[in-house]
Chains A and B, each alone.
Chain A
Amino acid sequence: MKKTFVIALLLAASAAAAENPPLITRWENFTTANGMPDQKVFCVTVVGDRVWAGTEDGLVLIENGKVQKVYRPEDGLVHRVVMGIALDKKTGDLWIGTFGGLSRFSGGQFTNYTNLTSGLLNDIIYGVAVQDNWVWVATTAGISRLDTSTGEWRNWSEYNAPFHEPWGYGVAPAPNIGKVYFAVWGGGMIEYDVATDTMKPYTDPDEEMEMVLFRNQGLVHIIVSNIAYNPDTKMAWASTYFGLSGYDGRNWHNYLTKDSGLASDFVNAPKSRGNEVWACTDKGLSFLDYKTQTWVTYRPNKQDGRGELEITWPDNKKTKLETPTSLAHNYILNMDFQGADIWVATAKGLSHGIREPKMEAQLYASAGLVHRNNRKPNGEGRQVAQANSQKGH
């Protein structure tokens, strides 16, 4: 009896220590074969049950599992190449950054802003974000901000702000700490303080060396390709072409392929919520459970097209799994959340990643792992947690 109790105690302790990460077990892909206007998908933004994707040939609306509408310049969109999409949660309007200016989509109509018709700094736009009455725009010549209540444009570039290079690639408002973070390609990460109206740059302490001398010393590299802010952890995440950097307001937390489960050091975009950190890389989509430091990387198997799924445990041991379906491509450009699901922009289509608790358990079982995932996913994902609970997971 005593022996049995000790074994049970050990098992329980083991389970608590090795909580399994949640898995995307099914992929549904949207490509030119089923309605996408172009294979290159640069960005994706989820608005409730609607999914908006920016492609090289238009803005795509997906609803009820189908491509419903493609908007191009003939529909009023300012340019066909769509690089960023942001929802104004207050007004319901979409702001769309393109390679030919900025569009606002509201009530079925587009209103356009360009370098010639407005105070927009440059028409080549990589990122757009909304923060109260401000629309932030990352352009190739710097950062622009439109105050929608007054119509005033303000611009920041190498002329009036600490921009080592002016190429704005991403914007991430951090409203709960009064900051806005910018990704500047070649200029590092820039932090804007709303209260003081000042900009502070964060660059690579190793200068521009493409190696990291001291881990967590600072930003991995000044070529920052995109930026994300996690309001739950109050951390900014910067994707660079030489690794992934997280900044908690005091310390940096960097990740490289050599000592983590990150699929590639060439990271196009980060995304984060709760304990989840996602990295869109050129060699697949990586997920980091920040709490347990467990990684999962998703990529298609080039031989048979099935999905490869690689778990890197905190002790750096790896578990490989397979799913019948896979991401549309391994070159990942961006992503967004839809409850427990994710939507992923790739170089060859848009992928909808779906969590299936039953399949997740089967996958873990197939690898001889006991399914232990007691954490509640965000948003609609709670339903999944409840389903798990009901099924005795």
Chain B
Amino acid sequence: MRTHHPTRQAGAGRIRRILLTTALLALAFVSAWRFSAPSVAVAKTPRAFSSEPRYITPADLRLSPDGRRLYIVGQGSDSVLVVDTRSRRVAGQVQVGSKPQGIALSPDGRTLYVSNEWSDTVSEIDAGSLEIKRTFPTGWGPAGLATDRTGRHLYVANGISNSVSVIDLATGKELKRLATVRSPHYITASRDGRNIYVANVLPYLGPYDQPPVSELTVIATADQVVRERILIPGVIELRQIAEAPAAQGGYLIVPFLRPKNLDPLISVEQGWVVTHGMAIVRPASGRMPLEKPSRVAQVLLDDIDAYFADGLGAAFTPNGRLALVTASGANVVSVIDTARLTQLLRQAPPEGLPDRLDAARRFVVRRMPTGNEPRGVVIAPDGRWAYVANRLADSVTVLDLAQLKVAGTIDLGGPREITMLRRGEQLFHDARYCLQGQFACSTCHPEDHVDGLAWNLETPQLGRDRVDNRTLRGIAETAPYKWNGHNPDLITQCGPRIAKFLFRSEGFNTEELQSLVAFLRAIPLPPNRHLPKDGELTDAEERGRRVYFRRYMTDGRPIPIQNQCATCHPADMHYTARISADVGSANKYDTGGMFDIPQLDRVYESAPYLHNGEALTLEEIWTVFNNQDTHGVTSDLRKEQLNDLIEYLKTL
């Protein structure tokens, strides 16, 4: 049930509006010439580290069927590296597209497929010669990918399109595109070849005051349709999917995190704000929707006084006796005894398990250290060795699973120097700065972006003033920060405030803080997928641009300057006037009505909207939450015109 605006204190609101109007008028007069019908802004795709040494940044990896070659995606070097697992040395490298993410091997092991997230393509590579054979177009933001068992079709998770492309490998053409939920990043083919599983990092868009629900999408390979959407309640950030051997039950494990975003964040000291665990999914076998759906259990991988933040990679040993889950925020691999896990699942009531911090000690038999930000993990066919990609260490940790110890580290040959930016990125992903290692910056900002939730951050009145998580992409020139606009710069935002109110720890020292802020300022905007490469707008976008910059209503009456879109969201300032405004978005949970004007760059990727995430779509900002024309004048627009405006906003 949606909450509508309460009637607020009219007097205070009027004063605020007068102040806002004065400020905006001054801003508008100073720069009015710049706002009038500016030319179309062509999307830039800045490199994050243009003057930096090029780190490899290994994000994911695969083993050849014989276990002798390790293929590693170099996200920072735009390349794929090959490591000889016997010599543990880099044996080859090939350049691919921009910001490669995922990697898959054909069933015969002869062909590699690598997704290029910022090129919206997949590179097909000869696994022996490392020659690029073909490049396929995909949806927007390709990430995880997998072939079916026949090797005839490639399934690509499009993280920005929120879909899966099914590509016919004979022709290289996309056969169809299947809808997912949000930010599908990880794909695994089932061992029997019947299903493709897709993990969505972000949850469903839902009521901002309800717990999140995430989805594991199941695609049937026989007819390539979505056969089931498995709902996993109370969790976000579903990551890599591993399937136990059939003899061990054939269940899936999927790392996740359980946010308590509806509780005041003061409870960090009591734990439980964010816990980290995994879903255990027993896939349904019947024909949906009439058969019983898949069964889902949840267990935590944290201990009572020590958390293992940001589970990401997952793998089973060939015999299924052990499972590995990387904790990318804790630089640890948790080793799970699957027999003990199964026993726990049989004995414990499933409804209580998701919140039991004493469960992991019953099935986690070892925590093994890795390098910075361990992500993907693979296990050799003989079950003896496991390899973990340390994304921010440019290395691979080799685990000896017979002795359950670290056997070594493979240096992938990245730059020796750890620059300020690199250090900042490591800090961003490191949960050890939080009390008990509960969470890192990246926990709530996966991929430097959003988690799709509104959080009840600490305010003078507990339980009030929930605010939507905001993206960190392209924020360098968008100060002030926080929805209340109280933090004038990132040093303030990330310094003592983080330590005191979020991490409940000493936080970052001065050098660390400078590094973190340098990294945050360098986070680039992704390419705009709605803007054609030539920058020319479509007819609808052009009509929408005119609506955006209009000064008169459709009946000819002038629109007050403080209520024109471009006044608060000026084009040459990342579409933010960098002040606070009251657009009538406050509700009964809000103490005040003035909120920082958000930037609009890549706004289509940042749902939900408004300060509290109450508007689930761009349309709702105006159709539901602008009944009084306090957030721009839109009541005179026909539906077609509002659609045009939204199409234009997507090009920003």
Contacts and interface: CB of A to CB of B under 8 A. Distances in A.
Contacts of B226: 91-93, 106-107
Interface stretch (B488-496, B564-572, B635-643): B635-643
B586 interface: no
Query: How big is the A interface, by class?
Result: 20 to 34
A91 B175 CA distance: 10
Contacts of B624: 116-117
B179 A155 contact: no
B132 interface: no
Interface string B366-405: 0000000000000000000000000000000000000000
A68 interface: yes
B212 to A, nearest CB: 15
A133 B228 CA distance: 21
Interface of A: 61, 63, 68-69, 90-93, 104, 106-109, 111, 115-119, 121-122, 133, 141, 148-155, 157, 159-160
Nearest to A120: B639
A117 B616 CA distance: 8
Given A104-B179, A107-B229, A153 B620 contact: no
Nearest to A122: B639
Contacts of A155: 639-640, 643
Given A91-B176, A91-B225, A152-B540, A108 B639 contact: no
Contacts of B178: 91
Given A107-B217, A108-B288, A152-B647, 20 more contacts: A68-B290, A91-B225, A92-B223, A104-B179, A107-B227, A107-B229, A107-B289, A108-B229, A115-B639, A117-B619, A118-B617, A121-B639, A148-B179, A149-B163, A152-B540, A154-B540, A155-B640, A155-B643, A157-B640, A159-B640
B139 interface: yes
Nearest to B175: A90
With most chain A CB atoms within 10 A of its CB, the pick from B163, B290, B604 is: B290
B473 interface: no
Contacts of A121: 639-640
Nearest to B220: A92
A131 to B, nearest CB: 14
B617 to A, nearest CB: 5
B103 interface: no
A65 B528 CA distance: 50
B617 A106 contact: no
B301 to A, nearest CB: 28
B540 A141 contact: no
Contact of A150 (B228, B530, B638, B642): B530
Interface of A is mostly: loop
Given A91-B179, A148-B179, A107 B228 contact: yes
A153 B619 CA distance: 11
B177 interface: yes
A119 B619 contact: yes
9 contacts: A61-B289, A68-B290, A91-B179, A93-B225, A115-B623, A116-B624, A117-B620, A118-B619, A122-B639
Contact of B638 (A61, A108, A159): A159
Given A116-B620, A155-B639, A107 B288 contact: yes
Contacts of A159: 638, 640
A106 B229 contact: yes
A108 B289 contact: yes
B161 interface: yes
B27 interface: no
A24 B290 CA distance: 30
A92 B177 CA distance: 11
B293 interface: yes
B177 A133 contact: yes
A262 B335 CA distance: 74
Contact of A69 (B176, B289, B293): B289
A59 to B, nearest CB: 11
A149 B227 contact: no
B182 to A, nearest CB: 12
A116 B640 CA distance: 13
Contacts of B288: 107-108
Interface string B613-629: 00011011001100000
Contacts of A93: 179, 225-226
B646 interface: yes
A107 B176 contact: no
A321 to B, nearest CB: 38
B218 interface: yes
Nearest to A119: B643
Nearest to A160: B640
B229 A109 contact: yes
A116 B623 contact: yes
Contacts of A151: 604
Given A108-B289, A119-B646, A92 B639 contact: no
A165 to B, nearest CB: 16
Interface in B145-164: 161, 163
Contacts of B289: 61, 69, 107-108
